Structure 1
Amino acid sequence: MIDIDKLRKLSPQDGDIFLAPENMAQVTAAELAEALQLSVPGLKAVVLCGNLEQLSEADMNAAGWYRR
């Protein structure tokens, strides 16, 4: 079951990334992705489970991930 209070965005648009709790079952995440696609035909969005962090180019370089 999806806890609606834990969703961060409720008006999906193309390119959105939905961050779900890391303990969400993969089946539930797949159901969420399917529901999003049904709510907005042609929607291209991603559902991720877990902590997501955007790294700067300097942080990526320090970790050995070189952006080209």
Structure 2
Amino acid sequence: MIDRHQIRKLSPVDGDIFTLPANTPFELAQHLGEAITIAKPGIKAIVICADLRQADVAVMNAAGWYRK
């Protein structure tokens, strides 16, 4: 369940990456993705359940992310 006191307004734009704690249930991440799509139809954004600070370049490259 989401604590309503932790909810903040989001204004998603193309290319946004939404990070959730690694232990977030898949269903909750999926619901967030669906809510973002409803809020901004056609948006291209990513929802990730992980701490990106711990991802190295090899992990990001394997996921199709490349530095510019």
TM interval, short-chain normalised: 0.5 to 0.7
Residue type at the aligned position of 1:28:
L
Query: Could you tell me which residue of structure 2 aligns to residue 26 of structure 1?
Result: 26
- Separation in 2, partners of 1:32, 1:38: 10
Q: Whose Rg is larger? A: 1
Matches within 5 A, 1:6-45: 10-45=10-45
- Separation in 2, partners of 1:24, 1:52: 14
More helix by share: 2
Corresponding residue SS for 1:53:
helix
Cα 1:46–1:52 change in 2 (3 A) is same
State the TM-score, normalized to the length of structure 1: 0.67
Query: Could you tell me which residue of structure 2 aligns to residue 46 of structure 1?
Result: 46
State the TM-score, normalized to the length of structure 2: 0.67
How many corresponding residue pairs? Answer: 59
Gaps in structure 2 of 5+ consecutive residues: none
% identical equivalent positions: 46
The Cα of 1:10 is off from its aligned counterpart by 1.3
Runs of 4+ in 1 over 3 A off after TM superposition: none
Gaps in structure 1 of 5+ consecutive residues: none
